[in-house]
């Protein structure tokens, strides 16, 4: 599937809103899960790709012993700038890098980990092949991806609300990209194409997404993700009006007060 260039540009106010709203809303439970899985492997050197604003990086910094080298990379410098500004409790090497063209030597890491980044890779097999290249023999690639949008209730509600607000040209970023790489067979095929000989272990994990009000997830999705670019590119309603429409839809489906929705993702583990 071809993706527009706007599906890769995290800039402006998006990194800050992403980190302040979306990370606690949907990323933190899965970040803790990935960090625990990585720590259980007892690595000496870990590479994180598509680190974003550092949700997993911070979890890894807490879960891993100080002697473990931790390198966190992302294609988007504004996201890394936000991650570095928030910081971690232990040293981390922050480095701008394309997951499909990693600037590291062959067989130089014990673990490569990626939280909700694979969906954004234009050539997933190539990015997985790069992860395999920098892994030592017996090393592990660990990553997670969102399940289909229907299993992620706030994202689904926002997408439906925006389709009503922009009926002629519905913004489909959430369904197209964050929730567009959920097919287990496709993931296994891409890993095989990347050169991984062993079959991946794929576990589906449901969690809960909670917020003090419907406004929080509405802001998170409409202003803290690349969905914002699609909203701003359309006429008929601005981003503030779109956010209000989504907040109303979330409140109508869940609650006028605190809200609680299902989220679901796949966790993938494959050995080099």
pLDDT digits (tens, 9 = 90+) for 37-60: 999 999 999 999 999 999 999 999
pLDDT at 43: 98
Q: Nearest Cα to 242, choosing from 260, 251, 252, 230?
A: 230
Distance CA 183, CA 179 (A): 10
- Model pTM score: 0.92
Beta bridge partners of 114: 49, 143
Tokens at residue 35, please?
């960090």
pLDDT for res 3 = 52
pLDDT at position 10: 47
Listed residue (166, 192, 156, 212) closest to 268, CA to CA: 192
| DSSP string across 44-94 | SEEEEES-TTSHHHHHHHHHS-TTSEEEEEES-HHHHHHHHHH--SS--EE
Residue ranges in the chain modelled with pLDDT below 50: 1-2, 5-8, 10-11
Give which of 214, 93, 227, 243 is closest to 172, Cα–Cα.
227
State how far the Cα of 123 lies from the Cα of 118, in Å rounded to an integer: 9
Residue 11: the pLDDT is 44
pLDDT of residue 211: 97
Write down the pLDDT at residue 12.
52
pLDDT (0 to 100) of residue 13? 58
């Amino acid at each position: 599937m071809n993706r527009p260039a706007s599906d890769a540009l995290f800039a402006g106010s998006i990194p800050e809103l992403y980190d302040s709203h979306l990370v606690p809303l949907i990323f933190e439970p899965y970040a803790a899960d990935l960090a625990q899985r990585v720590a259980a492997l007892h690595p000496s050197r870990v590479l994180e790709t598509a680190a974003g604003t550092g949700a997993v990086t911070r979890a890894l910094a807490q879960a891993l012993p100080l002697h473990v080298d931790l390198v966190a990379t992302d294609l988007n410098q504004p996201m890394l700038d936000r991650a570095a500004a928030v910081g971690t409790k232990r040293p981390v090497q922050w480095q701008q890098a394309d997951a499909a063209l990693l600037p590291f030597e062959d067989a130089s890491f014990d673990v490569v980990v990626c939280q909700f980044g694979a969906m954004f890779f234009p050539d997933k097999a190539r990015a997985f092949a790069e992860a395999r290249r920098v892994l030592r023999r017996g090393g592990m690639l660990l990553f997670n991806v969102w399940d289909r949008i229907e299993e992620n209730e706030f994202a689904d509600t926002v997408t439906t609300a925006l389709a009503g607000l922009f009926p002629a040209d519905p913004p489909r970023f959430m369904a197209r990209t964050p929730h567009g790489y959920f097919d287990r067979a496709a993931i296994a095929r891409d890993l095989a194409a990347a050169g991984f000989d062993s079959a991946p272990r794929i576990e589906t994990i449901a969690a809960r997404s909670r917020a003090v009000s419907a406004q929080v997830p509405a802001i998170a999705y409409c202003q803290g993700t690349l969905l914002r670019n699609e909203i701003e590119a359309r006429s008929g309603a601005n981003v503030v009006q779109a956010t209000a429409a989504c907040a109303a839809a979330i409140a109508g489906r869940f609650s006028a007060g605190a809200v609680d929705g299902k989220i679901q993702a796949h966790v993938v583990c494959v050995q080099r």
